[in-house]
Amino acid sequence: MNIAQDFPILYQTVNNCRLIYLDSAATSQKPLAVIEAMNEFYSKYNSNVHRGIHTLGTLATEKYEGARSKVAKFIKAKTPAQIIFTSGSTAALNLVACSYGRNNLKPGDELLITIAEHHSNLIPWQQVAKITGATLKCLDLETDGSLSLEKARQAITTQTKILAVHHISNVLGTISPIKELAHLVHAVGGIIAVDAAQSAPHLPLDVNDLDVDFLFFSGHKMCGPTGTGVLYGKKDLLEKMEPEHFGGEMNNLVEFHNATWREIPWKFEAGTPNIAGVVGLGAAIDYLNSVGMQNIAEHNAALTDYALDALAHVPELKIYGPQKNRHGLVTFNLGKLHPHDVATFLDAEGIAIRAGQHCAQPLIKWLGASSTARASFYLYNNEADIEALTQGLKNTREYFSV
């Protein structure tokens, strides 16, 4: 099955070379089915949702809420009411931090995160800690960047009220033992909030089996459009939370000095949402389901192993993170070359990678680097792409006389 043929953008040349896109951890490409679904919305039933009683409004609302049901089934949520649409993982995390964190933390409580978190899963908690007086505490990693349950047991105490942690690291590709971490934090009365921005595109998810309290991810990393995201929460927690954004369609009764809120999920979705984007996200989920999430997981795991083996033969290449229990990406530096120079040279050969700090400055510093290069893979990549990257790095090394 030639998955790449479903992605129009991949059928082009860059700098007179075949495009090899290895930056899906930043954003994935979109299959034609997603593009067509969004075009169909705008050309056939563009209308606002939840308010118009005319035909177009009814169709738009059905498509929008249909996408919510698709997301719920995709992560095996018990009800679509547990699915809140946001503009991305960042907005979803901020909603949890502001609505739940600010109202449930106090001085003496502990917020536990790792140094490997994306800035979106660090900065909001920094601000919550400052406002509430809670302590922001670091869960130490192993020397290879992986997260061990033993260190988690040592770090989680009766003061731990929130554990916020990545499912897959966007820098190291390491996979966290979420189900076991949830058990540990629940045993002391705390909750777990999981950044699934890198795992939702790659792994089958079952929020009930994982027993997570909150989980969030972005549509644009999983074949969907930008400006779409999902927050999943346990029903009892969402019902107790207050909204952080206010406006139209999230309320029941509005008086001059008071207002009451609608039930979940709509009390968290004030104003006109990104309707076309959500329709596109629903189409992306249909597409991923047609390929099969288990097939995608196995493909990406095998491709990651293949890349680690292939890149090991590039002289002076330093790969960060463990050799096992990682998924979807390889982060590296080539000798003393600046990652921007490496990325620029590879781009001249049509190979797109990421270079920089990957919105994870504390982790990059912990790794002893100022920045790194990152190649990330998805369902449309293959071994030929890895071989091109490997040769491109050898050519880079030769060009700069490393």
> Could you give the residue numbers annotated as active site?
359
Best CA proximity match to 329, nearest among 213, 204, 173, 160: 173
DSSP string, 93-113: HHHIIIIIIHHH--TT-EEEE
DSSP string, 194-261: EE-TTTTTTS---HHHHT-SEEEEEGGGTTS-TT-EEEEE-HHHHHHPPPS---TTSEEEE-SS-EEE
The amino acid occupying position 89 is S
Residue 288 · residue 222 · CB < 8 Å: yes
Spell out the residues 6+ positions from residue 57 whose beta carbon is closer than 8 angstroms to its own.
Answer: 47, 48, 49, 51
Best CA proximity match to 245, nearest among 215, 263, 266, 230: 266
Q: What is the dihedral of CA 24, 27, 28, 33, to 10 degrees?
A: 180
A 10 A CB-CB count for 12 gives 9
Distance between CA atoms of residues 234 and 229, nearest Å: 17
DSSP string, 82-98: GEEEESSHHHHHHHIII
Residue with tokens 């929130």: 162
Token pair recorded at residue 2: 């030639």
Pairing of strands 329-334, 317-320: antiparallel
Cα→Cα distances 290→74, 133, 316, 323, 380, Å: 12, 48, 41, 30, 14
Residue 83 · residue 232 · CB < 8 Å: yes
Cα→Cα distances 352→103, 110, 314, Å: 43, 40, 18
The dihedrals phi and psi of 202, each to the nearest 5 degrees, come to -115, -25
Distance between CA atoms of residues 218 and 26, nearest Å: 11
